[in-house]
Chains A and B, each alone.
Chain A
């Protein structure tokens, strides 16, 4: 991975073999980025997409063991259990230019993935819903509320 800061954004390049979510999370933790969003494009050699089935309350997954071009990859960054969590969705195309889209579960980069990260000021939280088990984005919760329900905060220097 290579990266540099450009104004308030970071430009990051992931290289062949890197697992996208693990690598990005490590980068965010090392730079204390606990809130923000990113856009990315590049390619994967292996991709696992997920589709949420509200009635079943679970994800259906499909793994693509083939080279895919990322047409669009959009995600946000929020604090979950004291660490930055990534939630991203993407569209990727195969050699026939046919596209597949969904929730990004896993992706192995080949040959690279270019990521532009925009950190945002302040705290943004996800809280795991007891009902669905999903880590729900909870914008706008007051610090007193976070305190009362015992949410683990992300340390921002």
Chain B
């Protein structure tokens, strides 16, 4: 992956064979990015899409493997922390050779010849917490006690 910082944004390019979520997470850890949003487009060599079925108030993930090459029309995601580690939540729309579209939650993906990513960082940490009832890591934008204290202590 090749990247460049531009103000509060980063522009990155992933290359063929790179695992998308793993590569981006490693980048976020290296750069100490704890909150933000990103969008990406380009191509994928392989994709595992997830769809959550509801069963008795819980969400049961079901995944489907799509073989590449696939064009990524939109890959939109956010960056937050779960147990002090950055985690990505992303949804994706891709097209096959007949331009037919498939969409869903991005479970895993391998980059094709090129995947271009725009990351916008946010100025303080954003947290997720595991919710046993929903069986999901829920985004909790108001729950940031340390940052709130730190910001309050600023002159």
Contact = CB atoms under 8 A, between A and B. Distances in A.
Nearest to B11: A139
A72 B73 CA distance: 8
Contacts of A87: 41, 116
B21 to A, nearest CB: 19
A110 interface: no
Given A51-B99, A91-B101, A132-B113, A139 B2 contact: yes
Tell me whether chain A's interface is mostly helix, strand or loop, or mixed.
strand
Given A60-B97, A139-B13, A120 B116 contact: no
A7 interface: no
A102 B96 CA distance: 8
Interface in A57-113: 60, 62, 72, 74-76, 87-91, 99-103
Interface of B: 2-4, 6-7, 9, 11-13, 16, 39, 41-43, 45, 69, 71-74, 93-97, 99-101, 112-114, 116, 118
Interface of A: 35, 37, 39, 49, 51-54, 60, 62, 72, 74-76, 87-91, 99-103, 120-122, 124, 132, 134, 136-141
